[in-house]
Amino acid sequence: MKQHDSILSVQDLSISFGTDRGKITAVDNVSFSLKRSGTLGIVGESGSGKSVTSLSVMRLIASPPGNIDSGKIFYHDSSGASLDLLKLKENDLRKIRGKDIAMIFQEPMTSLNPVFTCGNQVAEVIMEHRGFSRKDAKEKTLQLFDEVFLPRPNDIFRSYPYQLSGGQKQRVMIAMAMSCNPSVLIADEPTTALDVTVQKSILDLMRSLQEKHGMAIIFISHDLGVIAEIAQDVVVMYQGKIVESGPVETVFHSPQHPYTKGLLACRPSLDKHFKRLPTINDYLNAQEGVDPLAGLLIHKEEQNAIAKIQNGKEVLLNVRGLKTYFPVRKGLFGGVRGQVRAVDGVSFEVLQGETLGLVGESGCGKTTLGRTILRLIEPTGGDIRFNGTRINGLNNRSMRLLRRNMQIIFQDPYSSLNPRLPVGTAVVEPMTVHHLYGNEKIRNEKAMELLHRVNLDSTYFQRYPHELSGGQRQRICIARALAVEPRFIICDESVSALDVSIQAQILNLLNDLKEEYKMTYIFISHDLAVVKFMSDRMMVMKSGKIEEMGPAEDIYRNPGSDYTRKLIEAIPRG
């Protein structure tokens, strides 16, 4: 039988979910095909239907509440047979799922079982689908760990997921997906929230494995720059529908739909200077013949004027020789056998009203530095002065009073909000702790005002964190930080896991609030493009030390170290 040109074909697929508010269509009459040994990118924001589409290929849509209303999904195997995956019995589907069609899920920590070692989880798949003995499955797993460039494969085999970094866990998931040499690999946001350098290594790894094994890949992402790096063809999804599709080069260089144009434009650019980032809505609502970028760009004269203003500002935060060391113990009750120098002799200043960007890979010490400044982690040595006050030696009561002026927005908004408290209560709580605004009625009114300020209406006051999207939860965390009217906020990877369109909205919001409330930021990120957009000056960290520091534009144009150059080169260009 003649081999089909495509290995996977999705035809007229529609999926809906039953909710308290009625039936919601998540995927609406979607059709596309995946070429043999090719890579198809599916791009769109959260809620566009891209992940639901991929889960339907694996028949992982929970029913109820999910329901595949119509459509066909054909897998064209090597023998030339075409199997409709939606009609296969569960036993027959189980033979294909994981063996012929494998999937890398978005969040490796929730996809790996926390009570089993990483090695045993990969070996289990090999024994199930390939009939290997436990000994042979372990040997194959170690070989796979070596193939995906995991360091010390034997140690990784014995490690539990929590003991690995995000990049290492993602490599374990790739090894598991590759363990049966699948014909089709579905990668659902496999590089979201990873460092740009780790992201680049994951993309390079997937390309090399594809070439070696001849598999086809569906790569799902909200980042068009990443799609441009790895895919030949692209499907753009919006509100459950495909609004544009074709070769990557054609779609990216001549986008036709306003949604695609908005996705391409709203990611911070290394080569353009924006006063504020364009958003999806700017393009969807633009009148015909009107350029949504008009008035958003900063010209050279404006950049020079901004630099002069910065030079005349006073120092708000002064850090000298700051050290934060963590002991390494031998066994559970053993003595200290060494130290991890997370922050190692760091010195810098932050000027009143500026944004100092802090960039570096995971493990470089940037988050530890931010938390040490606020004394959420106690420093090992050095000096921290805020507005002239030395905060190292302050007692708990004095430090609590000072924290009204020094706040932090954490990376993961879900874990920093109490799941048992309505978000309105979460915003009111810091006002109560600091005895602000007199009484509960005024505090509630202030909380409502803050919700409106971060573009959420009053109905959110009684909602719980699990009822909100990632972008909405991050807005709640921003409102909570603003509740005590601080002078200084540390933003710790506060947009790293958000869609590029939501990210643009949050970055614009932070800049608006900075101007309105005359605040000062330290903006921490592994994404140099985001840091460059947000920052007046930039500081690059590596291994607990400052690698280089200076005006953001100067560091991008003329990086002073190979490390900074590597960070810049790793950014997807699109």
Q: Are 370 and 522 in contact (CB under 8 A)?
A: yes
Report the pLDDT value the prediction gives residue 451, as an integer from 0 to 100.
Answer: 94
HSE on the CB side for 169, CA within 13 Å?
A: 23
Place of tokens 């509630």: 444
The model's pLDDT over 429-463, given as tens digits with 9 standing for 90+, comes to 999 999 999 899 999 999 999 999 898 988 999 99
**What's the rounded mean pLDDT across residues 407-434?**
91
Report the pLDDT value the prediction gives residue 308, as an integer from 0 to 100.
Answer: 55
CA distance 32 to 41: 11
Q: Report whether pLDDT(29) > 80.
A: yes
Report the pLDDT value the prediction gives residue 191, as an integer from 0 to 100.
Answer: 81
The model's pLDDT over 127-167, given as tens digits with 9 standing for 90+, comes to 988 899 999 999 999 999 988 888 889 999 999 988 887 77
378 and 277, same domain (yes or no):
yes
Report the pLDDT value the prediction gives residue 1, as an integer from 0 to 100.
Answer: 42
Q: Report whether pLDDT(306) > 70.
A: no
Domain span including residue 238: 1-100+183-265
The structure tokens listed for 37 are 């040994």
The most confident of the ranges 3-12, 163-172, 201-210, 422-431 is 422-431
CA distance 438 to 425: 16
Judged by phi (left if over 0) then psi (alpha if -120 to 50, else beta), residue 246 lies in left
Report the pLDDT value the prediction gives residue 307, as an integer from 0 to 100.
Answer: 56
Q: Are 191 and 203 in contact (CB under 8 A)?
A: yes
**What's the rounded mean pLDDT across residues 492-511?**
87
Does residue 410 sit within a domain?
Answer: no
The model's pLDDT over 284-302, given as tens digits with 9 standing for 90+, comes to 988 777 888 877 776 555 5
- How high is the mean pLDDT of the chain? 89
HSE on the CB side for 168, CA within 13 Å?
A: 18
| Among the listed residues 185, 34, 215, 33, the one whose alpha carbon sits nearest the alpha carbon of residue 103 | 185
Report the pLDDT value the prediction gives residue 305, as an integer from 0 to 100.
Answer: 52
393 and 357, same domain (yes or no):
yes
**What's the rounded mean pLDDT across residues 472-499?**
90
Contacts of 523 (CB under 8 A, 6+ apart): 355, 356, 357, 358, 491, 510, 531, 534, 535
The model's pLDDT over 364-390, given as tens digits with 9 standing for 90+, comes to 899 999 999 999 999 999 999 999 999
Torsion angle defined by CA atoms of residues 475, 478, 483 and 488, in that order, rounded to the nearest 10 degrees: -160
Q: Are 561 and 190 in contact (CB under 8 A)?
A: no
Identity of the residue numbered 278: P
Specify the higher pLDDT residue, 292 or 41.
Answer: 41
CA distance 219 to 226: 9
272 and 394, same domain (yes or no):
yes
| SS3 state at 96 | helix
Specify the higher pLDDT residue, 317 or 189.
Answer: 317
Kindly state the percentage of the chain with pLDDT values over 70: 95
Q: Are 488 and 404 in contact (CB under 8 A)?
A: no
Place of tokens 């040595």: 381
**Residue that terminates a domain, selected from 485, 517, 538:** 485
303 and 398, same domain (yes or no):
yes
**Residue that terminates a domain, selected from 181, 210, 227:** 181
Contacts of 206 (CB under 8 A, 6+ apart): 174, 185, 187, 190, 217, 219, 230
DSSP per residue, 134-159: HHHHHHHHHHHHHHTT-SSHHHHHH-
Does residue 293 sit within a domain?
Answer: yes
292 and 387, same domain (yes or no):
yes
DSSP per residue, 507-537: HHHHHHHHHHHT-EEEEEES-HHHHHHH-SE
Q: Report whether pLDDT(481) > 90.
A: yes
Does residue 467 sit within a domain?
Answer: yes
248 and 338, same domain (yes or no):
no
Confidence of residue 496 (pLDDT cuts 50, 70, 90): confident
Report the pLDDT value the prediction gives residue 274, as an integer from 0 to 100.
Answer: 84
187 and 170, same domain (yes or no):
no
Instruction: Count Cβ atoms below 10 Å from residue 69 Cβ, excluding itself.
Output: 14
| Strand duo 233-238 + 241-247: pairing | antiparallel
CA distance 509 to 189: 25
Strand arrangement of the beta sheet that strand 545-551 belongs to: 406-409, 488-492, 520-525, 355-359, 537-542, 545-551
Lowest mean pLDDT among 137-146, 223-232, 308-317, 552-561: 308-317
Does residue 363 sit within a domain?
Answer: yes
Q: Report whether pLDDT(199) > 90.
A: no
130 and 162, same domain (yes or no):
yes
Does residue 411 sit within a domain?
Answer: no
301 and 377, same domain (yes or no):
yes
The model's pLDDT over 217-270, given as tens digits with 9 standing for 90+, comes to 999 988 888 899 999 999 999 999 999 999 999 999 999 999 999 998 888 887
Identity of the residue numbered 126: I
| Strand duo 184-188 + 216-221: pairing | parallel
Confidence of residue 339 (pLDDT cuts 50, 70, 90): confident
Report the pLDDT value the prediction gives residue 3, as an integer from 0 to 100.
Answer: 60
Report the pLDDT value the prediction gives residue 570, as an integer from 0 to 100.
Answer: 85
CATH number at residue 386: 3.40.50.300
Lowest mean pLDDT among 294-308, 467-481, 503-517: 294-308
The model's pLDDT over 421-436, given as tens digits with 9 standing for 90+, comes to 999 999 999 999 999 9
Lowest mean pLDDT among 164-168, 392-396, 521-525, 556-560: 164-168
Strand arrangement of the beta sheet that strand 82-84 belongs to: 22-35, 6-19, 66-76, 82-84
398 and 512, same domain (yes or no):
yes
Contacts of 152 (CB under 8 A, 6+ apart): none
CA distance 524 to 513: 17
| SS3 state at 541 | strand
The model's pLDDT over 50-106, given as tens digits with 9 standing for 90+, comes to 989 999 999 998 888 899 999 999 999 877 789 999 999 999 998 898 889 999 887
379 and 247, same domain (yes or no):
no
Report the pLDDT value the prediction gives residue 46, as an integer from 0 to 100.
Answer: 81
Place of tokens 């896991």: 497
Confidence of residue 47 (pLDDT cuts 50, 70, 90): confident
The structure tokens listed for 229 are 């790096």
Identity of the residue numbered 13: L
Report the pLDDT value the prediction gives residue 297, as an integer from 0 to 100.
Answer: 72
Length of the chain: 574
Confidence of residue 304 (pLDDT cuts 50, 70, 90): low
**Residue that terminates a domain, selected from 265, 285, 319:** 265
Identity of the residue numbered 176: M
User: Count of domains in the chain?
Assistant: 4
293 and 335, same domain (yes or no):
yes
